[in-house]
Structure 1
Amino acid sequence: MEIIPGVHSIPAGSSPFMGFFAPNVYLVVGNEGALIDSGYGNQESVSSRLDYVSSFAGLRLAYILITHAHPDHLGGARKIKERTGAQIVLHSAEARAADVLADKLVEEGDVLTLDGASLEVLHTPGHSPGHVCFLLREKRILFSGDHVLGMGTTAMRPPEGDMAQYIDSLRKLLDYDIEMICPGHGPLITAPRRKLEELIQHRLDREQQVLNGLRRGKATVKELVAEIYPELDSRLYEAAQGQVLAHLLKLEREGKATPRESAGYTVK
């Protein structure tokens, strides 16, 4: 599906369960093409991307740009590379966690060009250490991976996930003139600044809930999850634990909470 001229969204598999969006894969077309993420590695998903790229007669796929090394974003990269010869591109901090070898390692501020399309690398750690977003400069479109989702909030799973870094990375994006965000899951975001501000405030509000719970004697992650998410779908319990733990670790580093000798945390 064409989003705007030169930017396309490609089907990349189905949702694993209700309420969770399947991964989005994007194709940027200049004289050459670049995929943003590769989706899952099963044959049906890979074929859908290859078929879409093949529909552009004579288009050479130059890059497979990976926002982070989770299987719903990296899983199809090796198979797509084998069929197209495209280079797999990862941030150097993410390459250590990847199960495929990157052809090109990138850092903050690097730019990949497709003759008429310039994609700038923005290092946005938080969801993972080497997570990056790609900014299509000419169109002011941000491909955000799992850093900003079309709906819902990004999962934090310490030690890989870091809440302080995540909030800092959200604030960093406020410095850019972004027209649209193409997220790794969920619908397009057409009011980027408002979305970023909402996500930052949501995290700060959740942090306050954690602090309030600690003050009421809810010391462990399990106790805090039960208080903050009283009607939680059981399929999301592990994700909720990660969110709460990420907040606790942030508060500990900031000197606002301290581990107890027995179990859990207390407010300083």
Structure 2
Amino acid sequence: MEVAPGIHSIPVDTWTFMGLYAPNVYLVLGEKAALIDSGYDDIETVGKRLEYIKEFAPQKLEYILVTHPHPDHIGGCRSIRKSTGAKIVLHSSAVARARNKYRVVPDILAEDGDILDIGGLSLEIIHTPGHSPASVCVYIRESKTLFSGDHILGIGTTVVDAPEGDMTQYIDSLKKLLSYDIRLICPGHGPPIKEAKRKIQELIAHRQERELQVLACLRQGRKNLARLVAEIYPELDYRLLELAQRQVLAHLRKLVREKKVIASGGEYALK
């Protein structure tokens, strides 16, 4: 499915869980081709992606760029590389986890600001830690398109979960993206986002508002995590309870580091 000129989202999975769409895998076509993420490593979906690449990319698949080393993004790398000869590109901070957890050894190590050329299109690597320490976005300057991985989702908000996730880094990375001229965001899950700057600003405001909620609750006195979550999310679906706890905890860790909150005996209080 072509989402923009020369950019295809390879449709395979259709499942959702609590509004979370299956992982997006993007095929980018210049004189050569590149894949943004690879999906899960299962025979059926990898096979369908390879069929799509064969049909829509007669040019050589040069790169598989991985936005971060989680199974729904890095899983299919080895199988697709074996079938196409494409080079796997990882940010240097992703190497250890990729090798130890998924047995993926990159062909190319990328750093923030590195550019890969596929003939007529330049793919810039932007290091955007927060969801994971190794998260990157990929920016095509010619079309002003950003592939955001899980840093920005097409529906809902990103999980920022310790020990991998870091709320301070996540917000800083969102602010970093505001300096780019972005017309279209192709997220790791969910539909494309056309009002890119507005979306990024909304995500920053959402996290700042949640932080203010945490501080407001703590002005009433010391509280543990469960009490804070109950007050911040009074009508929460029980299936999302653990996820909500992890997000509030990420904010608390940030506030403790900033010396705005103190933690003691499983409880939190304003400093």
Q: How high is the TM-score relative to the length of structure 2?
A: 0.95
1:123 pairs with 2:127: yes
Instruction: Kindly state the Cα deviation for residue 220 of structure 1 after the two structures are TM-superposed.
Output: 1.8
Moved over 4 A (4+): none
Q: Superposed, which structure 2 residues align to 1:211-250 within 5 Å?
A: 211-217=215-221, 219-250=223-254
Range 75-84 or range 161-170, more displaced = 75-84
Distance 1:23 1:69 in 2: 13
Tell me how far 1:42 sits from its aligned partner.
Answer: 1.4
1:264 is the counterpart of 2:267: yes
Q: Give how far 1:104 is off.
A: 1.1
Cα distance between partner residues in 2 of 1:82 and 1:264 = 51
| 1:39 aligned partner | 39
Map of 1:72 onto structure 2: 72
Tell me what 2:211 maps to. Answer: 207
Q: CA RMSD in A?
A: 1.3
**Partner in structure 2 of residue 49 of structure 1:** 49
More displaced stretch, 208-217 vs 80-89: 208-217
* 1:252 match: 256
Would the aligned equivalents of 1:13 and 1:39 in 2 still touch at CA under 8 Å?
no
Deviation larger for 208-217 or 170-179: 208-217
Per the TM alignment, residue 15 of structure 1 is displaced from its structure 2 partner at its CA by 2.5
Determine the C-alpha separation between the residues in 1 that align with 2:222 and 2:12.
41
Contact in 2 for aligned 1:13/1:40 (Cα 8 Å): no
Q: 2:136 aligns with which of 132, 139, 162?
A: 132
- Structure 2, unaligned stretches of length 5 or more? none
CA deviations 1:109-144 (Å, max 9, x no partner) are: 000110111000000000000100000111000000
1:217 & 1:85 partners in 2: Cα distance?
A: 59
Structure 1 segments unaligned to the other structure (5+ residues): none
Counterpart check, 1:170 vs 2:187:
no
Identity of aligned residues (%): 59
Q: CA deviation at 1:244?
A: 0.6
Q: Summarize the alignment of residues 73-152 of structure 1 with structure 2, pairs less than 5 Å apart.
A: 73-98=73-98, 99=102, 100-152=104-156
| TM score, norm. by length of structure 1 | 0.96
Deviating more after overlay: 5-14 vs 104-113: 5-14
Q: What SS does the corresponding residue of 1:97 show, helix, strand or coil?
A: helix
Q: Is the 8 A contact 1:141 1:180 kept in 2?
A: yes
SS in 2 for 1:154: coil
Deviates more, 1:24-33 or 1:49-58: 49-58
**3-state SS of 1:55 partner:** helix
2:266 aligned partner, one-letter code: A
**Deviation of the 1:211 alpha carbon:** 1.0
Counterpart amino acid of residue 259 in structure 2: G
Q: 1:183 matched to which residue of 2? A: 187
Which residue identity lines up with residue 82 of structure 1 in the other structure? Answer: K
Give, in whole Å, the separation in 2 of the partners of 1:63 and 1:116.
15
Question: Between Structure 1 and Structure 2, how many residues are aligned?
Answer: 267
